[in-house]
Each structure stands twice: as C-alpha cells, then as structure tokens.
Amino acid sequence: MKEHILRKLVGRNIHWFIAIVLFAIPFFWLKPGEMDLGGDSGRLYFYDPVSFIRNVSIYHQVPEGLAPADPNTYYLSYVSFIAVLLFIFRSSTIVISIISGAKLSIGFLAVHGIVKTLCNGQKAGKVGELAAIMAGVFYILAPTMIGNYDKALTSHNQVFLNPLMFYLLLKFITKSDPLYLLAGLGISFVFAPNFALTSAPPFFAFYPLAIGYVLLYTKIVLKNKLPWGWMFTGAVLYLGIHAFHLVPQILNLFEPGSFTNTRVFDRSSIAHEGVRYFLAVLPLANVTSRILMVPAISWLWWSGIFAPLVFVIGLMSAKKDKTLLLTAGFYLLTLYLYSAKITDIGVAIYKKLFYIPGFSMFRNLIGQWPSVYTFYFALLLGLSIFAVLRKMKFRLWMIMVSVAVSILWIIGASSFLKGEPVNKFHAQSNNIPMTFAMDPRYEEALMFVRSLPDDGKILTLPLTDAYYQVLSGASGGAYIGTSTISQLTGKKDFNGYQLFGTFSEDFMKYSRENDMSKITELLSTLSIRYIFHNSDPKIYEAGFPQSPYTYMKTSFPKSQTEYMQFISSLEAKQIYQNGPYAIYELDSSVRRPLVYTANASGSIINREPEISIIKSDPVTYHISASGLSEKSGVLVFHDAYNSNWALTINGSPVSRDRHFMIDGYANAWKLLQDDQNGEKRYTMVLRLRSQNRVWFGWSITVLSLVLLGIVMVRRIVYHIL
C-alpha cells in the first residue's frame, strides 16, 4: 500500500513536470515588449544582438571613452546564439524569459540528475528520486541563488551551467562515455562568456572543485579507472574551442600595465584591492546565516534548520557511505571559502591566499562563492535525505515531511517566483521600475548617431558616477547600464566618471569653477565632437535624486535646465532634436579630430593641410595627408595609448621607438620628411596589431569545432551501430 502511494507521489516523470513548470515561470515576469536590461554587463545583446556583435565582440578594443585596447571577443558565440533566438521568436521579452526559464529548469534538472547518479550506485529507486527532486528544488530556490536575476551579469548563466557541466563531467567519467564530454564542450562554446577571463571568479570558484570532486569520487568511491585518453583529448579540444577569447585575453594578461595584468600580478594592487577589500567585506560573512540559509521571509527562519539537521542525521545513519562523506567534505570546504570566519587561523590563511597570483578575484567572497556553496549544499542535502529515508521504516511519513519542507522553501522564494527580482524599482530612485520598453524616439536618435562621421567622440549628458547611461523607457521604467551609444552604434561615448580616466577630477574641477574654456580644451583633448543630451527630467532630478549621479552632482549641474545652460555656454550648435534627445556639435575651431598632425612637440595643431581618414573598422584607419611643410612633426591619434597600435607610411612601417604617448593618454608618432619617400602625400595605415591575436584565436577555434564535430558524429554513429 505504502509502496503504491510512494509510486504515485514520486512518479517516473515528475521531475520533467517540475522542470516544465519552472521553465514557464519567468514568462509571467515581464509584460510584452518589456526588458530587464542594465547593470554592469548591460545585456544590450537581448535588444540588438547584431549591433552588439559588430561593435563589441569582434575587435580588440573597448568602444567606449578613451577606447583602450582590451578584448571582448568572448561574447561572440553567446550573442550569436541570442541572435538566433531573437530571429526565431522576434521578441526580446521572450528571449529574456527563455534564458531565465533555462536557468531555473536546467539548473533543477542537472542537480536532480547529479543526485540521482550519486545515489544510483546504491540502488536509488523512488527514495533516490525524491531526494534528487528535493535537492533540485532547494538549489534553484535557495536564498543565495535567487538574488541576482535583476541586472544579471553574463556569468549569471552559472545558475544552470555549473550543475549541467558537473552532470556531464560526472556521467562522462563514471560511464566512460565521451559523448557527455563532447556535449559539454559544445555547450561551453555557446556559453563562452562563462568560460572567459571576464568570468574568472565564478569559473575558478566552481570548476577546479568540481573536477576534483568527480576525480575523487571515481577513484576513491567507485574505484574505477579514469579515462585519461579522453580527458586529455577533452582538455585539448576545450582550449582549442575557446582559443577565440583565450588567446587575446591571455596575451593581454601578460602585457605589462594592462588592467588584467595589474589586477593579477601587481603586489601592491593585491594588498590594496585584495586583502583590504576582503577585510572590508569580512564582517558581512556570517557563518550562522550560511549554515541556516535563512530565507528572505524572516518568520520562516526556522525552515533553515531542516537542511543542516538532515546533514548530521544523514551522516549518523549512513555509516560507511563514502559518497556522503566526500560531499560533506566539499560542503565544509566551500563553507570555509564562503565565510572565511572559521577561527582566527582560518582568516589568517585566507589572507595569505591572496598572494597566490589571481586569488584576489575572490576578495569579494560573499559575492563569488554563494553559488558554489549552494551547489554542494544541495548535493549534500539530497544525499543526506537519501541516507535518512532509506533507513526509516515509515517512509510515507518522511515523504510528507519532505514535501512540507519543500513547500516552505517555495513560500520562502514566493516573491522570487512572482517575479520580484525583475519587477522592482531602481535603488535610490523615485520608484522608477527596472523593466522598460525602448522609447521609439530614442531608437530614431540611435539611427541618427549611427549616421554621424566616425571622426569624433560623444559626450553623453547628464554624466553618471560610473560608466552608466540612464534612459527612460516608453512604459515608464528606466534602463541604467552600459552605454547604448557605444555598444549599439560603435561611436566612442563618454557617459560617466570612470570613462574619463585620469581626466575625471579635472573635468569636475573645471565644472565647479565654471571654467568653460578649460572644459572646451578638455573636450578637445579627448576628441569629443558631439554632445548627446537626454533632457528628460525623469532620468535626472525628477526620477533619480541620488544614484547614479550622487558624486557627479557635486560638480555638475543639478537639474536638466542647468544642464541646458551648461551646454549653451559651450561653442556648440544643435544638429538633432527628437523629444528629449538632442545632439550638439562642437565648433570645428575648438575641437580636435581623432587623427591630426601637429608640430614636433605636439603643442600646435596643423590645421593645414587637412588630412582625410577612412575607418575600415574600429582597429584600422586609412589616412591620407599632404607632406609636412617643416622637417618634422607628429601624427596624433586620440585613442588610448597602446604599444600595439602600429603606423605604416607609404608602405613602410614606422619603428616602435617613434611611437609615444601624448596628451596623457593618446598615441603619437614622430613624422620625418624622409618618410614621404619622394611622394607628395603621406598615405598612412593605422592598425592595432593585437587584433591579429583575435583572428589567430578564431582560426584555432574553427579548426577545433570542425574536429569536435567529426569526433561527435563518429561517436554517435558508433552508438547507433
């Protein structure tokens, strides 16, 4: 009788039913036409993936502000996948919902599959099924997993990728079936941003431990041989497939002075940004709240007791269960990494770890470890439930308790399930929703920006504290995220404090002093030609009295009316107006072009003869200029200095020792009359050499993908036959 009820309760396909329900939930979060974009990653590829690919993910340069040479090529495969989805479904809202649904349903299914696999060695049966379902439900609804759906970083796909890749790795090694490995490699290519250097913290937090767990499980628990041959093949294919972003990024990592190089290797940077940051966040890392996983609803705190209680009871009742012990060991290790405050020695050891190159990526331990901790928490929970249930006589009673606990977790996550993560207001705003629909007038303005000449950068006002742009949506919400002008039009845009580099404080000072001539000079130094002003009060004083303008308001206009006066004080004329969106062009007498010639010291700009520039792509410019009237001069190029920028004059490369930094950030080359080589004009090509790394990486990737395809087809044929 009990077995019959058990079978009814835990049917064969119930996990598929739960997965479908979970997949459907995010489709109720957004209204048709709305999007929840923004944040540090912006996620503008959900809105216009093709422009995003063209402007962000092909070239070895950031299309913003000073335009440093930094590769973002890891986006390409993922954004192409989004483009395909958008082509099929024709709605950004649907595509966003599909990705959110995948996080929930695949995350659940993968954890379910792992627990089931780990229990299967012990003839899991229906009890194993129940334990696996509970572990899966817990994983996706845990308080640590439901918090970052708003303004999600690209690496947030780890919610489902971590357990999915673990599952495939576990199946590959335990069953010695390379198809799982090959499938994992294919998935890793599509979701490449999660395997790129930009996602280094979540990647290195999860994968070394996951590989360690699977290897130990195979060797110690199952006592099976490891498929070394396929593991080596997999590692080689992995590096090959990801060469398109790994090659440029790794070479960039070893380039002295680059942002990543400083972050990883510079000892003073480690001390400043690693240990100090770690010590600043340490008081927030409570051990108790990690053990109990206290839900957001405070009165439900006691539901957190269940899981740790089951851990201990499970360990007590399942003697000689190596799988459970191994999982418990990994749980404790991740608990330590997530909280650090396990004894004073524990904190001291953690501080020492920052001297391992790269470990400073974990300085924000409360942000980097939760998903890994939750993953092992869920596995341990599933295995503990299994250990307890299989020892109990009254299984039905225990099942009822388990279902009741699951319901408590669902209640604890009810606001999440109702869509609160995306349907909330921007912090410190006057109740401005995060979800928005793109304003058609802004879309027209973007079209106009695209048509502007490439020679000149854009200043977007009002200026924000970081590198954000604020946009009011047609439905009343607002977008706060990376520059839509840079990422969707390819025009280099200055919209916030951080994008001005070393000029930020000067700009603020000149504004405070109302010194418009100095401001004009600064804009000229930065080659800013256009000013884009969004005069909508809802995106400034009316909607956002503080963040993201708090710091900038200490120096810049405090209202849109004042901003209009600010612009009128500059020598600029309006060239476009559409609703609140206006574009001004600075007078040619006060602005400097992107590329120009000057006298030998660079102090006097040669207005005559004029030079013409053709931008082939963001990293290649063809320049044509008349000969120098004097014996020598300089060619100035106003993108961030990088030794990889190379100049060729009339077919001959200019030696590196004639390349130097000018204006505190830009590139300049010493020109000699001899360079003319008897010609009347200079014909010059300006090219970023490090772009070759991208093409080299891509050639390896294409080759590896072909190889992966061949191996996969052969394995499938082998399976069928």
Partner 1 sequence: MIAHIKKTLAVVGKWVHENQGVFVGFFGCLISAEVYIFPKSADIRLFSGLALYWILSRIGRLSSIRVLQLSLILFSIMSVSFLFSGTGVQTERIAVWFILFLAFGIVTQWRETVS
Interface residue list for partner 1 (CB under 8 A): 286-289, 291-292, 301-302, 305, 308-309, 311-313, 315-316, 319-322, 325, 328-329, 332, 335, 341-345
- Cβ 646 vs Cβ 654: under 8 Å: yes
E-strand spans in 482-619? 493-496, 528-534, 572-578, 581-586, 595-598, 612-617
- Whether residue 539 contacts residue 462, with contact meaning beta carbons closer than 8 Å, is answered with yes
> Nearest Cα to 648, choosing from 609, 628, 677?
677
Distance CA 261, CA 232 (A): 29
Contacts of 126 (CB under 8 A, 6+ apart): 6, 7, 10
What six digits make up the tokens of 101? 């649904």
Q: Closest CB to partner 1 among 341 and 424? A: 341
Residue 712 neighbours by CB under 8 Å, 6+ apart: 179, 182, 186
CB under 8 Å to 336, separation ≥6 — which residues? 342, 346
Q: How far is the CB of 343 from partner 1 (least distance, A)?
A: 5
Q: What phi and psi, each to the nearest 5 degrees, are found at residue 662?
A: -135, 155
Shortest gap between Cβ of 432 and partner 1 (angstroms)?
33
Least distance (Å) from partner 1 to the CB of residue 328? 5
Cα angle 325-331-337, degrees, rounded to a multiple of 5:
140
Residues 214 and 206: their CA atoms lie apart, in Å, by 12
Rounded to whole angstroms, how far apart are CA atoms 80 and 75?
8
Q: Residue 494's Cα: distance from chain center in Å?
A: 21
Long-range contacts of 255-263 (CB under 8 A, 24+ apart): 258/70, 259/68, 259/70, 260/197, 263/360, 263/361
CB closer to partner 1, 300 vs 466: 300
State which residue, 326 or 625, has the beta carbon closest to partner 1. Answer: 326
Tell me how far CA of residue 616 lies from CA of 488, 619, 620, 623, 687, in angstroms: 18, 8, 5, 11, 10
State the minimum distance, in angstroms, from the CB of residue 121 to partner 1. 15
Question: Which H/E stretch holds residue 241?
Answer: helix 228-241
Strand partners, 493: 64, 458
Non-local (6+) Cβ contacts of 572 within 8 A are: 531, 584, 585, 586, 587
Q: What SS3 state is found at 26?
A: helix
| Nearest partner of 640 among 444, 503, 488, 532, judged by Cα | 503
3-state class (DSSP) for residue 586: strand
**Among 108, 147, 130, CA closest to 294:** 147
Distance CA 460, CA 387 (A): 60
Largest Cα–Cα distance in the chain?
101
Q: Give the C-alpha separation, 277 to 703, whole Å.
A: 42
Least Å from the CB of residue 275 to partner 1? 20
CA 61 to CA 718: how far, in whole Å? Answer: 45
Of the candidates 176, 140, 331, the one whose C-alpha atom is nearest the C-alpha of residue 323 is 331
For partner 1, the closer CB: 143 or 184 = 143
Query: Which run of H or E residues covers position 259?
Result: helix 259-265
* Closest of 87, 99, 92 to residue 155, by C-alpha: 99
Structure tokens at 604: 């006097």
With tokens 């709240």, the residue in question is: 289
Q: Could you tell me whether strands 632-640 and 595-598 are parallel, antiparallel, or unpaired per DSSP bridges?
A: antiparallel
Query: Among 444, 329, 338, 438, which Cα is nearest to 379's?
Result: 329
Taking Cα atoms as reference points, which of 446, 695, 670 lies closest to residue 576?
446
Asked if 298 and 383 touch (Cβ cutoff 8 Å), the reply is no
What gap in Å lies between CA 397 and CA 298, rounded to an integer? 27
